Amino acid sequence: MKIRVETYDDRWFGEDHDYFKVIADDGGVYVLRYNRSEDGWELTQYRAAGADQESAKEGRAGAQDLLN
């Protein structure tokens, strides 16, 4: 399945990784992590269009705050 990024909502940078919060053409909100040393991407969070905040609490503790 392919989706198209419509816009990015936020981004922040860590020591080894960069994070991007994007909104896709399916209405979903995705938090993507870019690993600079491996030149690779990983999906770290996803919230479907219309989903409530409780469904975004997957992943490590505090990660749901990324979707606020």
2-43 pLDDT per residue, tens: 889 999 899 999 999 999 999 999 999 999 999 999 999 999
User: What domain range includes position 12?
Assistant: 1-48
Evaluate whether residue 20 is within a structural domain.
yes
Evaluate whether residue 44 is within a structural domain.
yes
CB of 3 within 8 A of CB of 25? yes
Evaluate whether residue 41 is within a structural domain.
yes
Question: Is the model's pTM score more than 0.85?
Answer: no
CB of 67 within 8 A of CB of 21? yes
Query: With bands split at pLDDT 50, 70 and 90, how would you rate the model's confidence at 68?
Result: very low
Number of domains in the chain: 1
pLDDT (average), residues 48-52: 83
Among 24, 31, 19, 34, smallest CA distance to 2 is for 24
Evaluate whether residue 61 is within a structural domain.
no
